[in-house]
């Protein structure tokens, strides 16, 4: 039932986006904080905590305001994984992967070998036989051309399956603090700067930075393969160390 609801929600969002693309939108003027977030986005986990809250317009106790959350959601989009709205045909994907940069070089080398064999064959008298080394090399390179495309397609399929598997792990609903009160929203409506209270047994709905915990244990077996949970101690307010301390729990 949960998967069906998630798929219906995705189809609705894709339909709305496809309709929105047809309309001409006015250019959005980004604020200073939005430009800062775009540039320093990869460093949010180590940035000084209080400055980060100010940049994200977040308050530790009050959370975001509904107005700020709605503005961020409209500008930055949904909190969803980048899944393709429409899958290409497998034959077309195979052809596209064959004609990669490496595949194109292999194909040109194969054509050059066939050309050399043909020129040698027409240049020699009929009673002499042409050494088939260029022909064999061309065939081997042609086989390598198709194998390279096949390997790239297999890797692409694995990546798509991994993204789908992660998407299935995402909870459909989560709790955030908006305007000083707890509110249950769709996970895809979480924006940067939201304060998310979590408790035992919950799945994390997004990339999060912990700033206050009590005996937090996190199981990262899906991400790292390590079967033991980790104990996380946030150090957001300790000045010199800006990130959380992670310790593996021993048996």
Higher pLDDT: 15 or 153? It is: 153
Question: In 3D, which of 93, 84, 85, 111 has the Cα closest to residue 151?
Answer: 93
Higher pLDDT: 61 or 5? It is: 61
Instruction: Clarify whether residues 184 and 153 are in a common domain.
Output: no
Q: Across 8-17, 41-50, 87-96, 189-198, which has the greatest mean pLDDT?
A: 189-198
227 falls within a domain: yes
User: 26 pLDDT band (50/70/90 cuts)?
Assistant: very low
16 falls within a domain: no
Instruction: Clarify whether residues 99 and 150 are in a common domain.
Output: yes
Instruction: Clarify whether residues 97 and 162 are in a common domain.
Output: yes
245 falls within a domain: yes
12 falls within a domain: no
Instruction: Clarify whether residues 177 and 164 are in a common domain.
Output: no
Residue 175 DSSP SS3: strand
Instruction: Clarify whether residues 124 and 192 are in a common domain.
Output: no
Ranges 46-50, 188-192, 193-197: which has the least confidence: 46-50
Instruction: Clarify whether residues 148 and 102 are in a common domain.
Output: yes
Instruction: Report the domain count for the chain.
Output: 3
158 falls within a domain: yes
pLDDT at 129: 76
Query: Is the model's pLDDT at 239 over the cut of 80?
Result: no
Instruction: Clarify whether residues 59 and 44 are in a common domain.
Output: yes
Instruction: Clarify whether residues 122 and 242 are in a common domain.
Output: no
Instruction: Clarify whether residues 103 and 157 are in a common domain.
Output: yes
Instruction: Clarify whether residues 249 and 192 are in a common domain.
Output: no
pLDDT at 107: 92
Instruction: Clarify whether residues 244 and 215 are in a common domain.
Output: yes
CATH number at residue 68: 2.70.150.10
Distance CA 9, CA 13 (A): 6
Question: In 3D, which of 69, 80, 74 has the Cα closest to residue 191?
Answer: 69
Q: What is the pLDDT of residues 96-149, one digit of tens each?
A: 888 888 888 999 999 999 998 888 888 777 667 777 888 899 999 999 999 999
Q: What is the pLDDT of residues 40-99, one digit of tens each?
A: 888 888 788 888 888 888 888 888 998 989 888 888 888 887 766 666 777 888 888 888
The pLDDT mean for the chain works out to 78
Average pLDDT over residues 216-221: 78
How far, CA to CA in Å, does 25 sit from each of 28, 31, 73, 75, 129? 9, 18, 16, 12, 69
Instruction: State pTM to two decimals.
Output: 0.59
pLDDT at 176: 92
Average pLDDT over residues 203-209: 85
Ranges 28-37, 42-51, 240-249: which has the least confidence: 240-249
Percent of the chain with pLDDT over 70: 76
Question: In 3D, which of 104, 79, 44 has the Cα closest to residue 206?
Answer: 79
Structural domain harbouring 245: 210-251
Distance CA 232, CA 5 (A): 33
5 falls within a domain: no
* Angle at CA of residue 118, ends 116 and 119, nearest 5°: 65
């Amino acid at each position: 039932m949960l998967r069906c609801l998630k798929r219906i929600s995705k189809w609705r969002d894709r339909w709305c986006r496809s309709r929105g693309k047809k309309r001409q939108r006015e250019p959005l003027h980004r604020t200073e904080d939005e430009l800062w977030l775009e540039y320093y986005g990869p460093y949010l986990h180590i940035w000084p905590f209080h400055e980060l809250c100010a940049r994200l317009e977040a308050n530790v106790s009050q959370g975001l305001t509904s107005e700020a959350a709605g503005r961020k959601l409209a500008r930055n989009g949904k909190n969803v994984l980048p899944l393709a709205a429409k899958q290409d045909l497998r034959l077309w994907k195979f052809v596209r992967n064959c004609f990669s940069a490496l595949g194109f070089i292999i194909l040109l080398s194969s054509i050059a070998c066939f050309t050399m064999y043909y020129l040698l064959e027409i240049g020699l008298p009929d009673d002499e036989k042409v050494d088939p080394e260029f022909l064999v090399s061309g065939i081997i390179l042609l086989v390598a051309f198709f194998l390279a495309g096949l390997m790239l397609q297999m890797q692409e399929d694995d990546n798509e399956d991994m993204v789908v598997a992660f998407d299935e792990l995402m909870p459909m609903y989560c709790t955030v603090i908006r305007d000083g009160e707890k509110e249950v929203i769709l996970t895809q409506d979480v924006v940067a700067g939201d304060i998310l209270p979590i408790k035992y047994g919950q799945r994390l709905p997004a990339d999060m930075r912990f700033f206050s915990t009590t005996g937090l244990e996190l199981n990262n077996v899906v991400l790292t393969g390590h079967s033991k949970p980790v104990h996380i101690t946030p150090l957001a307010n300790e000045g010199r160390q800006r990130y959380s301390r992670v310790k593996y729990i021993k048996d």
